[in-house]
Amino acid sequence: MPQNEHIELFQKRYGFRMDYQERQRKKKAREHKLQSKMAQKLIGIKGKIFAKKRYSEKVQLKRTIKAHEEKKTRKKDEGKVPEGAMPAYLLDRENTSQAKLLSSMVKQKRKEKAGKWDVPLPKVRAQSEAEVFRVLKTGKSRRKGWKRLVTKVCFVGEGFTRKPPKYERFVRPMALRFKKAHVTHPELKATFCLPIVGVKKNPSSPMFTSLGVITKGTIIEVNVSELGLVTQGGKVVWGKYAQVTNNPENDGCINAILLV
């Protein structure tokens, strides 16, 4: 291997050979012969790697050819009318993208009845009880172990008061209680910090749902009144469901995606 850029230096100083361009052209023209020879000759892992590389090159080539062809033909059908007609008084205004809420209220109600949602995260890792709860030892000599500490993020309703310690089986620490979530509207591509209304379903266990445990994949209900979504009847929609997309106990915040 050359240790320095001798050839480049030489070419800079003295220029190319007189037949340099011609030789390059011929070399390039004959390259396919070398390629096919290699394709036939190489076996084993080398052959596999070579074949894969060649395959991806060919795909790339076809793609670019197709793109070029499309570019050429597109000019013909320019008379197409764009969708999303706007009245003249809205044409110069940018923030006209509006959440489409056509009859989504009805859809949501139907889904609510079935208890199933078409959610962005369909498969959620199940959380075992051992993972969510930690056993607290109680009693004077720390012998009893009936108390549980919730180690995940929780939503606790507004008017909740803790029970006296003797009767409190599940402890939900203050530090892990959340009231707000960052909810992304998938069509608007915008994120809002919205107050949580309740935990609709934690897929791991109905007990987690009733406790208000929020883990990845949990369906929460959020207050969307500030988004200004409207039903067909002209009423403001205020509660909508969202699915949690991160691990709140690790991140310290709840990120969710709105189910539209």
Q: Which residues of the shown chain bind other proteins in the complex (CB under 8 A)? A: 79, 81, 83-89, 91-92, 98, 100, 102-103, 228, 230, 232-236
* Angle subtended at Cα 24 by Cα 19 and Cα 26, rounded to the nearest 5 degrees: 95
Nearer to other proteins, 7 or 91 (CB): 91
What DSSP element (H or E) covers 46? helix 44-74
Nearer to other proteins, 229 or 257 (CB): 229
At closest approach, how far in Å is the CB of 225 from other proteins?
10
Secondary structure string (H, E, C) spanning 162-230: CCCCCCCCEECCHHHECCEEEEEECCCCEEEEEEEEEEEECCCCHHHHHHCEECCCCEEEEECHHHCCE
At closest approach, how far in Å is the CB of 56 from other proteins?
43
At closest approach, how far in Å is the CB of 93 from other proteins?
9
**Cβ(222)–Cβ(237) under 8 Å?**
no
**Cβ(183)–Cβ(191) under 8 Å?**
yes
State how far the Cα of 67 lies from the Cα of 58, in Å rounded to an integer. Answer: 14
| Residue 30 three-state SS | coil
At closest approach, how far in Å is the CB of 95 from other proteins?
10
Nearest CA among 210, 216, 188 for reference residue 120? 216
At closest approach, how far in Å is the CB of 104 from other proteins?
11
State how far the Cα of 45 lies from the Cα of 10, in Å rounded to an integer. Answer: 38
**Cβ(121)–Cβ(243) under 8 Å?**
yes
At closest approach, how far in Å is the CB of 196 from other proteins?
23
